[in-house]
Structure 1
Amino acid sequence: MSRGTTEAKTLPVLALAAMVVGSMVGAGVFSLPSTFGGATGVIGAVIAWALAGAGMLTFVLVLQRLATRKPDLDAGIFAYAKAGFGNYLGFFSAFGYWASACAGNVTYWVLICSTLSGLFPGLGAGNTPAAIVVSTIGLWGFHLLIRRGIREAAFVNVVVTVAKLVPLLTFIAIVVFAGFDGRIFEANLWGGDGSPDPGSIASQIQSTLLLTVFVFLGVEGASVYSRYARRRQDIGRASIIGFLGVLLLFVSVSLLSYGVLPREELGALPEPSLGGVLEAVVGEWGALLIGAGLIVSVLGAYLSWTLMASEVLFAAAKQNDVPLFLRDVNRHGVPDRALLLSTLLVQVLLVLVMFSEDAFTLAFSLTSSLCLIAYALSAGYGLKLETRWGDDPAGRSRRGLLVAGLATVYTVFLLIAGGAQYFVVSFLILVPGSILYVLARREQGLRVFTRGEAVVFALAVAMAVWALVGLMTGAIAI
């Protein structure tokens, strides 16, 4: 066992891009036909994707710029939050992102088991004792795989990413060449009552934008693994390649579905709704193909997020934000203590799912809020660097200021749009997690909080108390 020693930086651009794709393409893409069909028509969907894509692109460009301007910050978005806003908010970013990854991973196992319940009824909705046993076996199987080395796990991630794209690309090809009906597509142009009402379209776009909050999570995958990049430029390139590829895939899947079934039928399809669309074109085997693709996709996303969860704690330990034992790596260069802690948290949450459906729902909903805190702080640091408060005057530019400003506004919007109640409730996780920060500071003989950080901690405690009281009284509904 060694402390802080890692293997050589050997991940090429395509492997880093696969991390982005693997993190973003999970279960959400298989639900796009029903989620979009139930909310809006073609016009609203196009505008929503344009706004969401442009907004998230600004964030990706900020990550690309930060990777080149701050090459010494090789822990991705967590290091950016610390550099921009201090030790404690840096810890907030890292711990929140880690908890987000672990909570999200629980939903993957539940979804896998619920999908397989058609063949094995004992798995139920994914939270039966049998389902927990199956999930536990898979959980520790992935743990052993990742312990063998980041490069090996990254290779598996590339293979899985390719495998899960095959059903999606097959869907696109079949619909384009055999299933697309222009008359149905034209009838689906407008949502609502089918008439071109500007007020209705605006409402549809607003509703649809909320759906895009979740599908872009994971775009920072290459940034998280920046320490494995061969060149700093590879981080930005991988982020752009992965993001644009996934955006094109999401847009294609959602828009092509409007040419197969009426909007009302799309909105009523059972999940995975993509299977229902393909079944309408080719028959039952289409639904089976998409079901298999869903399982592979979710497993791939789970691998990507597990890799990132352990990397987050390791990076936080390198920055002295959590206890030093989380710096330990095994002979393969894997931060196995951080990986073990991540796996144990997922295991605990899996057991809780069996007893409380509300706990599972809360964990699922908090995933995006916890992750978006790190997004907003990173974008905010990019904005800070472009102003007189930044420490790199030579690197400032008007274009950088504009992009960073837009990225900051967009990520804050996502944080609010994802549900203000979940943002408040997220402090019930962040405040207790601060114990790790306190232990780390005392371990180093350092003052725990500066005056400003003490104010931040007090506000965080107040938010946690507010959330707890709100949940107990019913004032906060989740």
Structure 2
Amino acid sequence: MSTEPKKLGIIALTALIISSSIGSGIFAIPTDMADAAAPGSALVAWLIAGLGVLTLCLSIVNIGNKKPELSGIVSYAEDGFGPFNGFISGWGYWLSAWLGNVAFATMMMKTVGRFIPAFEDGSNLLSILVASVVLWGLYFLVNRGVESAAALNTIITLCKLLPLALYIILACLFFDLDTFTANFWGTASGGFEWSSVVSQVQNSMMVIMWVFVGIEGAAMMSDRASSRQIVGKSTVLGLIGLLVVYIAASILPYGIMRQEQIVELPSPAMGYVLASNVGSWFPVVVNIALIVSIFGAWLSWTMLPAETTLIMAQRELLPSKFGDLNDKGVPTYSLFFMTALTQAFMFTLLFTESAYQFAFSLCTAAMFISWLYVVLYQVKLSSDLKDTGQLLLGIIGSAFFIWVIWASGIDYFLLCLIAYLVGIFFYIQARKQKGVKKVFSQTERILLGLLVAGAVLALYRLATGQIAL
């Protein structure tokens, strides 16, 4: 039996981006955004984030055209800055993926609890056991072949977008402009106040960027694409679709009820925004859609990290066993390793009440690292090619992602560095397998020192209670 994988077309790749991004975040976004910002400030935040993510997408398109031989964002970092930086980018992407799966599991079980009270808030023993069944079910599905999972993913995307479209249409019908503009900037004076708006925008960033996780999915699946050209097209199409859906989902509720009323809605809030307008059936429909949505995103994030570790093993950034393929062309060891870690982390839900928020914040912070490497490589590549326009794009993107790491909370970034201490062990093992005598260059030793120092600082802040989980 041939292990040569089938190639994915533009529809499958675009569906992968949309499905991997639209998960639990969009259904909770009305309350999450209302808790952080008034409608005017929220629109400013979306504008800034949209432009920032656009620089990422256009950078992926440009790099894909200029360097078609590279296989996704892991290889971007390695090609531009050396093997250790390639490892840092890939490990961050992989870490983000399975932490996101923990967030998916928590929200899925919490939503099931709306129908079956025994599941309570989604973090009791029954919830973890059922989530574990789903986790390992997805493992066996993806282990049968990535393309069969991708085909199912396309169907799931269509199923969940229909309820979202219904929500947006109904929200437009019940939208009231006077309600929307009643406290447009969320300030004491009722007018624009720079300091207040900036604070609200910063508070919104982690929520906004969480829902964009997955936009780079087509680049990470570039080896599976039928042509290099469709990778860039799929990424941009995915971003346009996501922006339309996300802005509508988060902004329209401000025209249906007051900001303080949105904040008090049950979670997930999307269905309850319209409950008083259309009836109690609507939250039921939305909750079912949420379960389907999470399943689709969870499926995607079972596929993507396996691709990541496969690429890293092929580039000798991880031990060769991470690249072992079964007869379906799937990296079985990588898939099992990630699934086992996700399973272990799930049991922490028994001991914390904020597992969902912590998991999605850590997931997003880890992804920031990989995204930052993309735009930094855009800067280096464009500088080498003396392409002024693309260089400016990379500089803007780099400034945005450095800012968003700070604005979203530096503590989550520091916590990610702790996880890198484990990954470095695998990196050293891989380099020794290759026969490299000097694992780290002088520059890489400095970077390693900064990474370790950041991890130690995070551990200290955890021990002293300065970082609360």
Task: State the TM bucket, normalised to the shorter chain.
Answer: over 0.9
Task: Give how far 1:337 is off.
Answer: 1.6
Pick from 427, 435, 440: which aligns with 1:449?
440
Q: Distance in 2 between matches of 1:110 and 1:57?
A: 30
Which residue does the alignment assign to 2:450?
459
2:360 counterpart of 1:369: no
Give the counterpart of 1:60 among 40, 44, 57: 57
Give the 3-state SS of the residue equivalent to 1:386 in structure 2.
helix
1:7 aligns to 2:2 (yes or no): no
Structure 2 unmatched ranges of 5 or more: none
Is 1:41–2:38 an aligned residue pair?
yes
1:90 to 86, 89, 98: 86
Kindly indicate whether residue 179 of structure 2 is the aligned counterpart of residue 184 of structure 1: yes
Q: How does 1:218-257 map to 2 (within 5 A)?
A: 218-257=214-253
User: In the alignment, which of 265, 282, 290 is matched to residue 261 of structure 2?
Assistant: 265
Deviation at 1:357, TM superposition (A): 5.0
What aligned pairs does 1:46-445 form with structure 2 within 5 A after superposition? 46-74=43-71, 76-177=72-173, 179-193=174-188, 195-199=190-194, 200-356=196-352, 362-387=358-383, 390=384, 393=385, 396-445=386-435
Scaled by the length of structure 2, what TM-score is found?
A: 0.95
CA distance in 2, matches of 1:52, 1:432: 32
8 Å CA contact 2:205, 2:408 repeated in 1: no
Q: Kindly tell me the number of residue pairs found equivalent between the two proteins.
A: 467
Q: Post-superposition shift, 1:284?
A: 0.2
For the 8 Å contact 2:106–2:356, the answer to whether it is kept is: no
Per the alignment, do residues 249 and 362 of structure 1 end up closer, same or farther by CA in structure 2, a change over 3 Å counting? closer
Equivalent position to 2:16, from 16, 19, 23: 19
Distance 1:358 1:34, change over 3 A: closer
Answer yes or no: is the 8 Å Cα contact 1:368–1:418 preserved in 2: no
The reply on whether 1:469 has 2:460 as its aligned counterpart is yes
| Contact 2:205-2:404 within 8 A present in 1 as well | no
Deviates more, 1:28-37 or 1:11-20: 28-37
Letter in 1 for 2:392: L
Residue 8 of structure 2 contacts residue 224 of structure 2 at CA under 8 Å; is this kept in 1?
yes
Rounded Cα–Cα distance in structure 1 between residues aligned with 2:462 and 2:38: 36
Amino acid at match of 1:476: I
Q: Flag the 1:124–1:326 CA change in 2: closer, same or farther, 3 A.
A: same
Q: Which moved more, 1:231-240 or 1:250-259?
A: 250-259
Query: SS of the residue aligned with 2:191?
Result: coil
CA distance in 1, matches of 2:347, 2:76: 34
2:27 alignment partner in structure 1: 30
Partner SS for 2:274: helix
Give, in angstroms, the shift of residue 204 of structure 1.
Answer: 2.9
Residues 350 and 469 of structure 1: is their aligned pair in 2 closer, same or farther, counting only changes over 3 Å? same
User: Could you tell me how far 1:248 is from its partner in structure 2?
Assistant: 0.7
**CA shift digits 1:356-380 (9 cap, x unpaired):** 5577765443211111111111110
Q: Percent identity?
A: 34
Question: What displacement does 1:6 show?
Answer: 4.0
Deviations 1:184-206 (CA, angstroms, capped at 9, x unpaired): 22325332347123333343333
* CA distance in 2: counterparts of 1:68 and 1:453, whole angstroms: 28
Q: 1:291 to 1:193 in 2, by over 3 A?
A: farther
Secondary structure (helix, strand or coil) at the match of 1:126 reads coil
Give CA deviations for 1:447-466 in whole Å, capped at 9, x if unaligned: 22222222222222222222
**Contact 1:188/1:194 (CA < 8 Å) preserved in 2?**
no
Deviations 1:205-255 (A, max 9, x none): 333344323221111010000001111110000000001100011111222
CA contact (8 A) 1:6 1:329 kept: no
Q: Are 2:417 and 2:451, in contact at CA under 8 Å, matched by a contact in 1?
A: yes
Unaligned residue ranges in structure 1 (runs of 5+): none
Residues 277, 131 of structure 1: alpha-carbon distance in 2 compared, 3 angstrom cutoff:
same
Amino acid at match of 1:305: W
- Contact 1:370–1:423 (8 Å) recurs in 2: yes
What code does the residue aligned with 2:8 have? Answer: L
Q: 1:190 to 1:416 in 2, by over 3 A?
A: closer
The alignment's C-alpha RMSD in Å is 1.9
